[in-house]
Amino acid sequence: MGYRNYLHVVDRKKLAKIKKMDVNQLWDMTEKEPEEWDIDDETGVVSPPYWRDLIKAIGGEELIEVSESLFYRNSDFKLSKYTKKIFKHKEIQKYYNEDTELMIAKPEILDALIEFYISKVKKFYNQLLLEDSTNPKK
């Protein structure tokens, strides 16, 4: 098992609404309270809410889950070409991108994913044909 990236469909107006929010406003949006582990023991600084709770709060709907092999093992596909930052507050953007990549996907990402997977399927199919042609039939 490895990392996964998820693409969600989110209303632009709702997404724009959270862009300028601070941590407290984000927690209010999720209608949850920070847990003990969300608060730094030494500084008392509260971390932003879990990304899935935030996506749910703004009505995000999961579109596709993409495996790590696409983004981390493939030099042909650069996720950063197809994303941009969500949050205006640098600390919040940094927080969400230390363990996760919570970004806005540009519209071109869907075409790029489709083309990438078409290429992978064609390559695999051609390998099967080659294997089949080199194995004599019994």
State the pLDDT at residue 96.
87
**How many percent of the chain have pLDDT more than 90?**
33
The Cα-based distances of 82 to 38, 79, 93, 105 in angstroms read 30, 6, 17, 6
Query: CB of 79 within 8 A of CB of 105?
Result: no
The Cα-based distances of 50 to 9, 84, 109, 136 in angstroms read 18, 20, 24, 56
**pLDDT, tens only, 17-36:** 999 999 999 999 999 999 98
pLDDT band, residue 137 (cuts 50/70/90): low
pTM of the complete model: 0.72
